[in-house]
Each structure stands twice: as C-alpha cells, then as structure tokens.
C-alpha cells in the first residue's frame, strides 16, 4: 500500500492491486498545487471547498460522501457520522470519518473532525492501523485533542494532516505543537510512504509527510 499526501486533508491511497482512493480533494484557492489525480474511489468528508473539489479528480470514479457501509473495487469502506465542531454541527455542520480496509490494514481518515470521538464512535471505527489525523485546530481538533485521540484510538501509525504550511494561509497551527506533544516523530522528507502489510510494525508512532 502507498499513501501519498497532496497537502491539507488530501491523500491518494493505492492498494497493492492498484485500486486508488483519493480523500478530500481541495480547490485552487487553498494554496497547494491541485493534484489532478487519477482515482477509482473518492471520499469527501464534508461539503466545503477545501475538501470536496471533484475537479481535481481524473477518470471514472465512485464518489462517497455519506455515512454507511460500502464495498467498492474490492475495498471495504465504512463512513461514520461525526461533527465539524464541538457543538454537534451548529457552527460548521457534519463530518464523515472514513475507514478503508486495504491490504489487510485499516486506514482511518478523520476529515475535519471538530470534537473528541465518543466511545461508541471509536467502537464503530474499530481497529485502526493507520490514522490520518487533523492537528491544526481552529476548524478541527487542536494538537492536544489530537494527542488525546491517539491515546484513545491506539493506532499503530499516525500521519498528521490539516496543519499550517508555507503553502497554506489558513489561521491554524503548524505541526510542531503536535509533534512536541507526542514526543517522537519521523519526518520522511517525502510525499509518499509505502507500507508492507506483512512486516508493518512501525518503530515511530508519528510520520510526517511532505506535500511536494
């Protein structure tokens, strides 16, 4: 399995059989280079311009944007209803957390989660091998809440997302506060991470990807 980060909350996850899943594509105003990625499946966690720009997607794809249980291209996917804020959606609406079963591993993308997950939601998500976790605050959980979720969900590997970079003008935190809170991280200096599900047993809990 390969996980490639285009910036913000947008990843291209490719299975060993070549099935491509694109998460939360963003429009040109966000600041990152729009990926223009080929995909078989596209998931959008909510209907905001920095997470739902289907103009970035090339090819004939299936679009998922709601809670439920799905099987597309041989990939089992579940969507769990959550909120974009800590007031049950009153400020920013709903958010869908997606879990993808790929090559025997479970990858969880939290979208623009704005609150600590309930015990019931964590149970619904189930085992998490790789967690794609917003850490920037303001529009999502902040770095302290993100660290709390890592403790609650106990993923094998965490990849931070939705944090401030030189390409992004949003008033959110850089990844540094989260890394300091976690105490240990590995910066790959690469946009892409390849995971062998047979030998997957990461030494470092947190891996930071570059966006280009």
All structural domains of the chain with their residue ranges:
2-208
For the segment 40-60, what is each residue's pLDDT rounded down to a tens digit? 999 999 988 889 999 999 999
Dihedral-angle region of residue 136 (phi above 0 means left; psi in -120 to 50 means alpha; beta otherwise) = alpha
Q: Which band of pLDDT confidence, cut at 50, 70 and 90, is reported for residue 125?
A: very high
pLDDT score recorded for residue 15: 98
- Give the Cα separation of 183 and 72 in Å (integer): 38
Q: Which band of pLDDT confidence, cut at 50, 70 and 90, is reported for residue 207?
A: very high
pTM: 0.95
pLDDT score recorded for residue 1: 97
pLDDT score recorded for residue 201: 86
SS (H, E, C) 92-158: CCEEEEEEEEECCEEEEECCCCCCCCCHHHHHHHCCCCEEEEECCCCCCCCHHHHHHHHHHHCCCEE
pLDDT at 82 over 90: yes
What does the mean pLDDT of the chain come to?
A: 94
pLDDT at 171 over 80: yes
pLDDT at 204 over 80: no
pLDDT score recorded for residue 85: 78
Q: Are the C-beta atoms of 37 and 55 separated by less than 8 Å?
A: no
pLDDT at 89 over 80: no
pLDDT score recorded for residue 191: 96
Q: Are the C-beta atoms of 175 and 158 separated by less than 8 Å?
A: no
Percent of all residues in the chain with a pLDDT value above 70, rounded to a whole number: 100
pLDDT score recorded for residue 50: 86
pLDDT at 93 over 80: no
Residue 183, C-beta contacts closer than 8 angstroms, at least 6 positions apart: none
pLDDT at 130 over 80: yes
Report residue 108 as tokens.
Answer: 């969880």
Report residue 130 as tokens.
Answer: 């790789």
Q: What is the phi/psi pair of residue 120, to 5°?
A: -65, -45
Query: Which CATH number describes the domain made up of 2-208?
Result: 3.60.15.10
pLDDT score recorded for residue 169: 84
For the segment 157-167, what is each residue's pLDDT rounded down to a tens digit? 999 999 999 99
Shortest CA distance to 54 belongs to which of 112, 100, 10, 108?
A: 10
pLDDT at 151 over 90: yes
For 84, other C-beta atoms within 10 Å of its C-beta total 24
Q: Which band of pLDDT confidence, cut at 50, 70 and 90, is reported for residue 24?
A: very high
By the 10 Å C-beta count (0-12 exposed, 13-18 middle, 19+ buried), 205 is classed as: middle
- Give the Cα separation of 47 and 26 in Å (integer): 11
């Amino acid at each position: 399995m390969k996980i490639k980060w285009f910036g913000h909350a947008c990843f291209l996850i490719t299975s060993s059989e070549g099935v491509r899943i694109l998460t939360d594509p963003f429009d040109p105003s966000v600041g990152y280079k729009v990926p223009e990625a080929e995909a078989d499946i596209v998931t959008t966690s909510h209907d905001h311009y920095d997470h739902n720009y289907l103009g970035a997607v090339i090819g004939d794809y299936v679009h998922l944007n709601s809670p439920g249980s799905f099987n597309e291209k041989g990939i089992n996917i579940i969507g769990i209803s959550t909120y974009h804020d800590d007031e049950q959606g009153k400020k920013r609406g709903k958010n869908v957390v997606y879990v993808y079963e790929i090559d025997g591993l479970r990858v969880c993308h939290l979208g623009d989660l704005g609150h600590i997950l309930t015990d019931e939601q964590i149970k619904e998500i189930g085992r998490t091998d790789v967690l794609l976790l917003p850490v920037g605050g303001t529009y999502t959980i902040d770095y302290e809440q993100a660290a709390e979720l890592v403790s609650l969900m106990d993923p094998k590997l965490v990849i931070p997302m939705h944090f401030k970079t030189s390409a992004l003008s949003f008033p959110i935190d850089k990844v540094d506060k989260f890394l300091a809170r976690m105490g240990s991280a590995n910066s790959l200096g690469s946009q892409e991470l390849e995971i062998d599900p047979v030998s997957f047993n990461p030494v470092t809990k947190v891996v930071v990807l570059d966006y280009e």
